[in-house]
Chains A and B, each alone.
Chain A
Amino acid sequence: MKAVFTRPESLTDKPFHFCPGCHHGVIHRLVAEAIDHYGVREKTIGAASVGCSVFLYDYFDIDVVESPHGRAPAVATGIKRANPDRFVLLYQGDGDLAAIGTAEIIHAANRGENLTVVFVNNTVYGMTGGQMAPTTLLGQPTTTSPYGREFGQDGYPIKMTEMLAQLEGVGYAARVAVDTPARLAKARKAVFQAFETQVEEKGMGFVEILATCPTNWGLPPLEAVKRVETEMIPYFPLGVYKERKGKDFL
């Protein structure tokens, strides 16, 4: 029999701890497929964030350094500079990358570090109990904004991909979603492209993936999947924001 779809080799056999319908599992699988495709499993070092993605070391058959809150780009910079032949993978959530570690990601991107960043945007702090993140949409109730986010008090949701795409050090920046089979296929391509950017040393490969958090949104899994299309994609437009063809640094 011919295999149509099987578990990627880079994923260990450990069951995911994620809630039912959480997109972290799909994104883990896409990243594992990219590791398999580029054959970098034996030389990949991950820099995991703090949040629901904290157990990266359990689920991937790679070496992982656990970084302090938001500091994964700084830790990864050290790893990559000390071991330029290694493949360095960052996997961060929106509370981690867009709030606690904004300075680290912006300066790592601006320095043009050869890193691959997978940024999972689910508009809340997932693991700590659904507090408001900088990416929380206007009007969205969270445990720290029970009446919905209001711009006068909390500002506007931050668009990280657009911001980082402007920096010269970024080789690839894209925003994708994994809520339908068609978007999942595009997301897979974007993750592969972010890997290729590091393999070809074109600067930082950054991919933002819109994801669900059914538990903290207070929605059943399928309604949470629909919310990605109805509420998130209109504010966070999908697409490739930057793609460097050659090594055309200034």
Chain B
Amino acid sequence: MAKLAIREERCKSCGICIEFCPENCLEIGDKLNAQGYRCVRLADPDACRACGICGRMCPDVVIEVWK
């Protein structure tokens, strides 16, 4: 079971993690953070296989991944 820790207050909604997720399990959520960006969220937790690409591609080190 994969676990993603997303620091929502740091997300800038650039969409790079979503673009490169091989399982397409991330999406831009509806919630606004304090900076005014719509934060990314894990839409399909079952599809995630914790490859860590989202965390590595994220320019703001928002996502940490555990397996």
Contacts and interface: CB of A to CB of B under 8 A. Distances in A.
Interface of A: 1-7, 11, 15-16, 18-26, 29, 180-181, 184, 214, 221-222, 225
List of 10 A-B pairs having minimum Cβ-Cβ separation, nearest first: A25-B59, A20-B12, A5-B55, A5-B52, A221-B14, A21-B14, A20-B14, A4-B52, A4-B65, A1-B66
B67 A21 contact: no
Contacts of A11: 61
Interface of B: 3, 9-10, 12-16, 19-20, 37, 50-53, 55-61, 63-67
A3 B56 CA distance: 13
A181 B15 contact: no
B44 to A, nearest CB: 17
Given A20-B13, A21-B14, A222-B19, A5 B59 contact: no
Contacts of B60: 15-16, 18, 25
A48 to B, nearest CB: 19
B67 A2 contact: yes
Given A4-B50, A4-B66, A20-B37, A221 B61 contact: no
A184 B54 CA distance: 12
A162 to B, nearest CB: 27
Residue from B12, B14, B37 whose CB has the most chain A CB atoms within 10 Å: B14
Contacts of A214: 14
B14 A1 contact: no
